[in-house]
Chains A and B, each alone.
Chain A
């Protein structure tokens, strides 16, 4: 299968400041690819170059084989974009916006999408008078109006209520099932963990981690937490020599490990040897959020593994 988006050795500089430094990744049809990173990591610069509204400094970006920088209006036909700030004129009505942009895209006017997004009863309401959720829905409806092959969503659910967020997630899944590739920039780690097939974490303009959410989570050290509570607190006296870290949290002794099987064996044997009684045992896998903090919290960026 051919990738729909191909980013190869891409760099972007603003004067002497290098915002993006030699990154590469690919997105395939039907894939949700999440771009994560702290503020200033280079997400927006990357998206803007993919969208064709900024020039790349080095490297190559192609969308379905087309260079967005050189052939913007050709790319426009296969690219749908929902910008982070839903910027449309304040006084344009919902129907006017849908009609005007569909006509410019040379597609049929998609009032059906307004129906789908529950915006038809707001058809004559001006954009500035819509709620944030309704504005986002309208912009997403416009982005989907020409059935794009690649959909770029820049923090689509930030600041939205739960029901609207769920609606957005369902739409993303629906589009993915239709074969649309989605490039998602988000700060919501639960959203990314739940939806994304692949994730790239940007840090200081470089890709610090790239892979499936599970790959990224499991690539960290000491990321499984085992909470142990015993009758005589014998677990806290356990001396672990194999690099297991431990700490006391309320009544629980918390162990951090990579190999849960070995750790559980040691703990259970120790409790038995100490003639203690196990009262509670909980195992918690690290989340993408914890791994993200682990990677971006002052860590040195790794090279792209693509």
Chain B
């Protein structure tokens, strides 16, 4: 346990020490949030209502999809995980410690968003705060699973960026972060269910802000939980201690993490 605590201490500090991680975990999501606060209310008066869920889910996406996978792929490529194995660091620590520390950093950013948006920008505070926390952590779990899986399946940083963008960009466009899903056409609404963001925003809106759900709340929660479990299970199964042991064909199995989301389209 002492080893894991020491490892967590180092991983936590590494986000502060590494400029790229600091940018992705703190500066980028917070700068984007402040920019949105300045621009969006004049364009869309309703934005203040879904500012908190939108911006917290955005922060979660940036940290988990754009930031988390790179250190995993780099550690494999540079032989850092190989050293870890030789020095006795178990797989569960290698996979879970960065996830837990990333979750702490994202939660700090989310708290900043929550406090400043209600105090200074008049955004709607979650009506059911406990529900907000519950859905927030389920969403975090689902995205952290995706981030870890992308890192595990990617042979290098270029591929992690590519894979992360495949989820990140559509999530921004049709996942309900920038505009409500209700504004999309029926067909686009169906397609958007393949994205975890859609389910996060649906569950957050309905359970924390008493909004009318676009889709079944329980199915959104189950899809996120199943997606997270499947992602972590696949990440543990496909994990290799160095990139030499990577099997690209086998890594295609990682796509199976999308199954709960794909199935949700037909529910």
| Interface residues, chain A, with chain B CB atoms under 8 Å away | 51, 53-54, 72-73, 76, 81, 83, 85, 87-92, 96, 99-101, 103-106, 126, 139, 142
- A102 to B86 Cα, complex, angstroms: 12
- Chain B residue nearest in CB terms to A82: B86
- Chain B residue nearest in CB terms to A86: B83
Decide if B2 is an interface residue (CB 8 Å cutoff). Answer: yes
- A134 to B213 Cα, complex, angstroms: 59
Distance between B83 CB and nearest chain A CB, rounded to angstroms: 5
Decide if B241 is an interface residue (CB 8 Å cutoff). Answer: yes
- A259 to B265 Cα, complex, angstroms: 86
Decide if B212 is an interface residue (CB 8 Å cutoff). Answer: no
List B contacts of A72 (CB < 8 A): 85
28 A-B pairs within 8 Å (CB atoms) are namely A53-B82, A53-B242, A72-B85, A76-B87, A83-B82, A85-B79, A87-B79, A87-B80, A87-B82, A87-B83, A88-B80, A89-B10, A89-B80, A90-B18, A91-B14, A91-B18, A92-B10, A96-B9, A100-B3, A100-B7, A100-B10, A101-B89, A104-B7, A104-B87, A104-B88, A104-B89, A105-B87, A106-B3
- Chain B residue nearest in CB terms to A14: B244
List B contacts of A96 (CB < 8 A): 6, 9-10
- A176 to B75 Cα, complex, angstroms: 33
Decide if B17 is an interface residue (CB 8 Å cutoff). Answer: yes
**Do residues B86 and A89 form an inter-chain contact, with CB atoms below 8 A?**
no
- A101 to B93 Cα, complex, angstroms: 12
Given A89-B75, A100-B7, A104-B3 in contact, is the A81-B80 Cβ separation under 8 Å?
no
Enumerate B180-214 residues with CB–CB distance to A below 8 Å: none
**Do residues A83 and B83 form an inter-chain contact, with CB atoms below 8 A?**
yes
**Do residues B83 and A88 form an inter-chain contact, with CB atoms below 8 A?**
yes
**Do residues B10 and A126 form an inter-chain contact, with CB atoms below 8 A?**
no
Distance between B24 CB and nearest chain A CB, rounded to angstroms: 15
List A contacts of B83 (CB < 8 A): 83, 87-88, 139
**Do residues B80 and A103 form an inter-chain contact, with CB atoms below 8 A?**
no
- A101 to B3 Cα, complex, angstroms: 8
Q: A89-B10, A104-B7, A104-B90 are in contact. List 4 more A-B contacts (CB 8 A).
A: A90-B18, A92-B10, A100-B3, A104-B3
- Chain A residue nearest in CB terms to B3: A103
- Chain B residue nearest in CB terms to A84: B79
Most buried by B among A81, A103, A105: A103
Decide if B127 is an interface residue (CB 8 Å cutoff). Answer: no
Interface string of B62-89 (1 = CB under 8 A from A): 0000000000000100111011011111
Q: Which listed residue, B2, B7, B17, B85, touches A126 by the CB 8 Å rule?
A: B17
Enumerate B71-117 residues with CB–CB distance to A below 8 Å: 75, 78-80, 82-83, 85-90, 93
- A91 to B14 Cα, complex, angstroms: 6
- A303 to B87 Cα, complex, angstroms: 35
**Do residues B10 and A142 form an inter-chain contact, with CB atoms below 8 A?**
no
Most buried by B among A73, A104, A142: A104
Q: Which listed residue, B18, B78, B85, B88, touches A105 by the CB 8 Å rule?
A: B88
- A92 to B86 Cα, complex, angstroms: 17
**Do residues A81 and B17 form an inter-chain contact, with CB atoms below 8 A?**
no
List B contacts of A87 (CB < 8 A): 78-80, 82-83
**Do residues B79 and A83 form an inter-chain contact, with CB atoms below 8 A?**
yes
Q: Which 5 A-B pairs have the closest CB atoms?
A: A103-B3, A87-B79, A91-B17, A101-B87, A104-B88
**Do residues A53 and B85 form an inter-chain contact, with CB atoms below 8 A?**
yes
- Chain A residue nearest in CB terms to B18: A91
- Chain B residue nearest in CB terms to A55: B245
Distance between A57 CB and nearest chain B CB, rounded to angstroms: 14
Given A91-B18, A103-B2 in contact, is the A142-B85 Cβ separation under 8 Å?
no
Interface string of B109-148 (1 = CB under 8 A from A): 0000000000000000000000000000000000000000
Distance between A82 CB and nearest chain B CB, rounded to angstroms: 9
- A139 to B87 Cα, complex, angstroms: 10
Distance between B160 CB and nearest chain A CB, rounded to angstroms: 17
List A contacts of B80 (CB < 8 A): 87-89
Given A53-B241, A103-B3, A104-B3 in contact, is the A73-B10 Cβ separation under 8 Å?
no
- A73 to B85 Cα, complex, angstroms: 9
List B contacts of A88 (CB < 8 A): 80, 83
**Do residues A83 and B7 form an inter-chain contact, with CB atoms below 8 A?**
no
- A139 to B79 Cα, complex, angstroms: 13
- Chain B residue nearest in CB terms to A105: B88
Distance between B18 CB and nearest chain A CB, rounded to angstroms: 5
**Do residues B86 and A51 form an inter-chain contact, with CB atoms below 8 A?**
yes
**Do residues A142 and B87 form an inter-chain contact, with CB atoms below 8 A?**
yes
Given A53-B82, A89-B80 in contact, is the A99-B6 Cβ separation under 8 Å?
yes
Given A89-B14, A91-B18, A103-B6 in contact, is the A53-B87 Cβ separation under 8 Å?
no
- A126 to B93 Cα, complex, angstroms: 21
- A72 to B86 Cα, complex, angstroms: 9
- Chain A residue nearest in CB terms to B242: A53
- A54 to B88 Cα, complex, angstroms: 15
- A99 to B86 Cα, complex, angstroms: 15
Distance between A294 CB and nearest chain B CB, rounded to angstroms: 32
- A54 to B242 Cα, complex, angstroms: 10
List B contacts of A139 (CB < 8 A): 83
List B contacts of A101 (CB < 8 A): 87-89
List B contacts of A51 (CB < 8 A): 86
